Amino acid sequence: MMTHVVGVELGGTKTVVAIANRDGILLEEIRFPTVSPRETVNQVCSWIKSKITAGDAIEMGIASFGPIRVDAHADDYGRFLATPKPGWSGFSLIDEIEKYFPKSRIELETDVNAALLGEMRHGVAMGMRDAAYLTIGTGIGAGICSNGSLVHGTLHPEMGHIRVSRHPDDTFAGTCPFHGDCWEGLASGLAMEKRWGKPAHTLPNDHAGWDWQAWYLAQGILSVVAIMSPEIVILGGGVSQFPELRDKTAHHLDVLSAGYFTFTGDDLQLAGLGQRAGIIGAMELLNQTR
Amino acid sequence: MMTHVVGVELGGTKTVVAIANRDGILLEEIRFPTVSPRETVNQVCSWIKSKITAGDAIEMGIASFGPIRVDAHADDYGRFLATPKPGWSGFSLIDEIEKYFPKSRIELETDVNAALLGEMRHGVAMGMRDAAYLTIGTGIGAGICSNGSLVHGTLHPEMGHIRVSRHPDDTFAGTCPFHGDCWEGLASGLAMEKRWGKPAHTLPNDHAGWDWQAWYLAQGILSVVAIMSPEIVILGGGVSQFPELRDKTAHHLDVLSAGYFTFTGDDLQLAGLGQRAGIIGAMELLNQTR
């Protein structure tokens, strides 16, 4: 009997599963569209079972979209909270997986915290104890590590919903269904698309929207810097891939900071593992004590 | 020979020193105006020496204004960084104290983190592992605890300097010498005084300034809630003493949150130890491992 290491990155639209041997050598990886919760878990677990010998053990690290209870001591550990994603509110992810793999070690973390962990183990934040990972995609999310521990608090950070200053020329109402013009409401990929009438990645390089975007991002980054004093802030997610966005954001960060913070634009980095931070972090969850 | 427990709260304008026996029974307390660094340390240490018998040992917990290096592993541990307070930039507090009390145990923390520790041990945050303490006085500062550890990051939080949305009717430029209209620049006691032309505590209860103030405070509190997900946010400092400010702020917090956060206005509390949180926290520094 052997033990396999499994990573699962459960995203709002797609799910990635990877399997490795005990030495961390990646054996195989697959991705599915994320559908209903039971069907998604069934696809994940059936695929894993097809890759191992009956009787083999697994350990599973899961990086999940949220909101989901990741506190292993909570009564509702592993359960989704209210989410607009149909069918997922109240779904108990861990209970469902245990139907397929009873008594297996399972470690659960938010997708953003897992991505940060991946970057801290193998990416641009190696050796650091205080770091933040921002994902700028359809929404905005943050994974945060303080003094070597991933931050959960009472649930987990929902940093997309902080307040920021509006650009003086910005009359866009914002996309957040709760807050309108919170950070995510003004600076997510969805907000860019709604404000300018076309997807962010189709805006030309010299479009004013990129400078506004960088300015909004810099404001949110300044908040996490002011509150957590991290060594690095890592940018991930689709919108972060725009060629000059990191540099423009770093510039605005320096201007907004006005020399006050020791954190400078140089401490703002793109994810070193790119889109693979999440799945690598999911497997790394098995290499940490919680 | 006996060992005395000493707490020092080193503030920008006044310094409090308290001495207790090993059982934590407070023996005596005194306060001085904070003057030049060497003279201040001399006053503190001379007073302590006058209270103990020659040859007695002391342990000292210090809650200090900042910015100061509190990382005991740093080369410049115990040294002030650039501060507008004349004479204090670059002053090595710990080195100076050790001239009076060589080889004594000294624990150093920021004033706001120490106040938070006091509240976690004896005040409104007892038993909690994730909490924030805000002081709203001449400036705005924050002490933060994540998963049971006081947050330092690369230096320590400087939360007063986050960005917030301006009140649509607010034309005041802000008081922050670095950022103008950052949170502290718009919502500190100094900002209130400059905006309205008189000290905050002289504004009548029904003055519109209090509602603006509560709205600005709620924005900053929402940021720390979104980033750290604390169980409680504690309000301290002079401005927080205005009778209705907590309730008004809690109201705005609920409105701004729009039902999104599990944190509600009920989780916003005035400091249980009032103005004594700092000195009590300074002594409690000796009861924790770092």
Q: How far is CA A222 from CA A42, A72, A162, A226, B159, in A?
A: 42, 31, 11, 6, 9
Which residues from chain A sit within 8 angstroms of residue B227, using beta carbons? 142, 144, 157, 159, 162, 223-224, 227-228
Identify which of A7, A67, A3 has the alpha carbon closest to the alpha carbon of residue A281.
Answer: A7
Model confidence over A274-287: pLDDT tens digits? 989 999 999 999 98
Q: HSE on the CB side for A105, CA within 13 Å? A: 16
Model confidence over B30-72: pLDDT tens digits? 999 999 999 999 999 999 999 999 889 999 999 999 889 999 9
d(CA B62, CA B7): 6
Identify which of B266, B185, B230, B90 has the alpha carbon closest to the alpha carbon of residue A227.
Answer: B230
Task: Tell me how close the Cα of B258 comes to any Cα of chain A, in angstroms.
Answer: 6
Does B3-111 match B124-271 in CATH topology?
yes
**What residue type is assigned to position A237 of the chain?**
G
- Domain map (residue ranges) of chain B: 3-111, 124-271
pLDDT, chain B, mean: 93
Residue A273 has pLDDT above 80, yes or no: yes
Residue A252 has pLDDT above 70, yes or no: yes
Residues A205-241: b if buried by 16+ CB within 10 A, e if exposed:
eeeeebbbbbbbbbbbbbbbbbbbbbbbbbbbbebbb
Identify which of B273, B59, B160, B241 has the alpha carbon closest to the alpha carbon of residue B281.
Answer: B273
Which residues from chain B sit within 8 angstroms of residue A222, using beta carbons? 161-163
Whether the CB-CB separation of A85 and A71 falls below 8 Å is answered with: no
pLDDT at B262: 80
pLDDT at B55: 86
Best A112, A162, A290 residue to mutate vs chain B (most B CBs within 10 Å): A162
Residue B290 has pLDDT above 60, yes or no: no
Best A146, A263, A289 residue to mutate vs chain B (most B CBs within 10 Å): A146
d(CA A195, CA A191): 6
Model confidence over A185-206: pLDDT tens digits? 999 999 999 999 999 999 999 9
Which residues from chain A sit within 8 angstroms of residue B151, using beta carbons? 146-147, 228-229
d(CA A227, CA B162): 8
Task: Tell me how close the Cα of A202 comes to any Cα of chain B, in angstroms.
Answer: 29
The answer to whether B149 contacts A153, with C-beta atoms less than 8 Å apart, is: no
Percent share of chain A, pLDDT over 90: 82
Which residues from chain B sit within 8 angstroms of residue A159, using beta carbons? 226-227
The answer to whether A155 contacts B229, with C-beta atoms less than 8 Å apart, is: yes
pLDDT at A280: 94
Whether the CB-CB separation of B143 and B133 falls below 8 Å is answered with: yes
Residue located via tokens 């604390």: B230
Residue A38 has pLDDT above 90, yes or no: yes
Whether the CB-CB separation of A223 and A233 falls below 8 Å is answered with: no
The answer to whether A146 contacts B142, with C-beta atoms less than 8 Å apart, is: no
Residue A21 has pLDDT above 90, yes or no: no
Whether the bond between B102 and the residue before it is cis, its omega within 30 degrees of 0, is no
Give chain A's end-to-end CA distance (angstroms, integer). 27
Model confidence over B141-194: pLDDT tens digits? 999 999 999 999 888 788 999 999 999 999 999 999 889 999 999 999 999 999
Residue A22 has pLDDT above 80, yes or no: no
pLDDT at A243: 87
Whether the CB-CB separation of A223 and A258 falls below 8 Å is answered with: no
Model confidence over A46-92: pLDDT tens digits? 999 999 998 899 999 999 998 899 999 999 999 999 887 889 999 99
Find, in chain B, the residue whose alpha carbon is nearest to that of A219: B163
Which residues from chain A sit within 8 angstroms of residue B156, using beta carbons? 229
Best A171, A260, A267 residue to mutate vs chain B (most B CBs within 10 Å): A260
Considering the four listed CATH numbers 3.30.1330.60, 3.40.470.10, 3.30.420.40, 1.10.1780.10, the one that applies to the domain covering B124-271 is: 3.30.420.40
Model confidence over A101-123: pLDDT tens digits? 999 999 999 999 999 999 999 99
d(CA B257, CA B259): 5
The answer to whether A228 contacts B231, with C-beta atoms less than 8 Å apart, is: no
Find, in chain B, the residue whose alpha carbon is nearest to that of A81: B262
Whether the CB-CB separation of B26 and B78 falls below 8 Å is answered with: no
The answer to whether B262 contacts A154, with C-beta atoms less than 8 Å apart, is: yes
pLDDT at B25: 80
Residue B110's beta-bridge partner residues?
Answer: B64
Find, in chain B, the residue whose alpha carbon is nearest to that of A184: B226
Model confidence over B227-262: pLDDT tens digits? 999 999 999 999 999 989 999 999 999 999 988 888
pLDDT at A78: 97
Whether the CB-CB separation of A70 and A110 falls below 8 Å is answered with: yes
Task: Tell me how close the Cα of A17 comes to any Cα of chain B, in angstroms.
Answer: 29
d(CA B253, CA B195): 23
What is the pLDDT averaged over residues B209-226?
Answer: 96
Which residues from chain A sit within 8 angstroms of residue B110, using beta carbons? none
Residue A290 has pLDDT above 60, yes or no: no
pLDDT at B289: 63
Which residues from chain B sit within 8 angstroms of residue A259, using beta carbons? 178
Residues B223-237: b if buried by 16+ CB within 10 A, e if exposed:
bbbbbbbbbbbbbbb
The answer to whether A179 contacts B147, with C-beta atoms less than 8 Å apart, is: no
Task: Classify domain B3-111 by CATH architecture.
Answer: 2-Layer Sandwich (3.30)
Residue B79's beta-bridge partner residues?
Answer: B92
Model confidence over B191-200: pLDDT tens digits? 999 999 999 9
d(CA A251, CA A193): 23
Residues B21-54: b if buried by 16+ CB within 10 A, e if exposed:
eeeeeeeeeeeeebeebeebbebbbebbeebbee
Chain A residues with CB within 8 Å of chain B CB: 130, 142, 144, 146-147, 149, 151-166, 178-179, 181, 219, 222-224, 226-231, 256-263
What is the pLDDT averaged over residues A39-51?
Answer: 97
What is the pLDDT averaged over residues A157-168?
Answer: 91
The answer to whether B149 contacts A146, with C-beta atoms less than 8 Å apart, is: yes
When pLDDT is cut at 50, 70 and 90, the band that residue A289 belongs to is low
